[in-house]
Structure 1
Amino acid sequence: MTGRERLLDPTGFDEKAADDTLAPRPAGLRGLTIGLLDNTKPNAEVLLTEIAGELQRRYGAGKSLMYTKGYFGTPAEEDMLKRIAKECDLVVTAVGDCGSCSAATVADGILLERAGIPTVSIVSDSFLVSGRAMAEVQGFPGFEFVAVRHPVASLDAEQLRERVRDVLPDVLRILGVES
């Protein structure tokens, strides 16, 4: 007998998977503190730094704060998420460029949204399925995240800037900011 399989949440956050409400969106970015959640994958920090730079230059966003996860394949630790929520007005997290890290990047975004922080999760387009599966098991099947063209890890600085230019409109759209 074949049927639909039930997805299990490997993160241990299944009991919290009831809220699919986005955090309130900012009217603009001027002066807001940007949290950057680096999952330690190659080029994630560079990609995030480039995005923050564009948000600062073009939209007047304030300072950016970099946070680095302990392990790319699981969601950020609860104490780190609380610290980010306390110190930042919005968050960009990246980069999901494999199955487990894509799922964890989406989970991070959902957990931060539930903590009241507008968040954009960035995964590579090759791993959209993993991100969507995590959104579903987190009880937030409509959670929007950004797909950056794969690969990211092997890119040089100019190629990364090109990826940032490509995804910036979606980052702004998800944050609810006019581009």
Structure 2
Amino acid sequence: MTGREMLLDPTGMDERTADGTLAPRPVTLRGLTIGLLDNTKPNATALLRAIEAQLRQRTEIGETRLYTKDYFGTPVKDELLTQIAAECDVVITAVGDCGSCSAATVADGILFEREGVPAVSIVSDSFFMSGRAMAKVQGFPGFEFLAAAHPVASLDDDGLRQRAETLTPDVLRVLGVEA
């Protein structure tokens, strides 16, 4: 007689997948520390910095801190998640421009929300369904994330600035803040 085999969750997630509650939203971004999580995809840092510039024009944010994940195709590691949650008031993570990185970017946002840090995840519109599938797998099917027009990786500075101008009002909306 054989024993039962343990099945592993291929997403690498655990019991945290049962919480679908958003972190409390700030009333304003004035003076808050904004975490920018780069997933290592081309132009991720540039897009995040362009959004930072837009936020500085529209609000009175405090400092920003840039962090970089080890690998784009998996969720943020616990150690980095804990560090960012301790150091930042809100987090913006980007950019999902393929299937696995879009799913991981959405998972990152959900993980920050579950740590009590409001988060905005940004994927490209071509991989929106991948992000939506990850939100469902994470037990947070209503998690709102943003979709930038594809592509992002090949954009020049002007194209990134335009994407940031388009995304920033929704970044503020998702965070619950009016400019």
TM-score tier by shorter-chain length is over 0.9
- Residues 106-121 of structure 1: pairs in structure 2 closer than 5 A: 106-121=106-121
8 Å contact kept, 1:96–1:127: yes
Q: Give structure 1 regions of 4+ aligned residues with deviation exceeding 2 angstroms.
A: 8-11
Q: Structure 1: 5+ residue runs without aligned partners?
A: 1-7
Q: Structure 2: 5+ residue runs without aligned partners?
A: 1-7
1:75 corresponds in structure 2 to: 75
Structure having the higher Rg? 2
Do residues 100 (structure 1) and 130 (structure 2) align? no
Q: CA offset at residue 45 of structure 1?
A: 0.2
8 Å contact kept, 1:14–1:138: no
Do residues 53 (structure 1) and 31 (structure 2) align? no
Q: CA offset at residue 14 of structure 1?
A: 3.7
1:38 corresponds in structure 2 to: 38
Q: CA offset at residue 169 of structure 1?
A: 1.2
Q: CA offset at residue 65 of structure 1?
A: 0.2
Distance 1:45 1:10 in 2: 28
Do residues 144 (structure 1) and 140 (structure 2) align? no
Superposed CA offset, 1:120-169 (max 9, x none): 00000000100000000000000000000000000000000000111111
Superposed CA offset, 1:15-49 (max 9, x none): 21110000000000100000000000000000001
2:27 corresponds in structure 1 to: 27
Q: CA offset at residue 9 of structure 1?
A: 5.3
Task: Indicate the RMSD between aligned Cα atoms, in angstroms.
Answer: 1.1
1:167 corresponds in structure 2 to: 167
Query: Please, which moves more after superposition, 8-17 or 20-29?
Result: 8-17
Alignment-mate amino acid for residue 49 of structure 1: R
Q: What TM-score do the two structures reach when normalised by structure 2? A: 0.94
Query: Please, which moves more after superposition, 46-55 or 156-165?
Result: 46-55
Distance 1:70 1:11 in 2: 17
Alignment-mate amino acid for residue 56 of structure 2: Q
2:86 corresponds in structure 1 to: 86
SS of the residue aligned with 1:123? strand
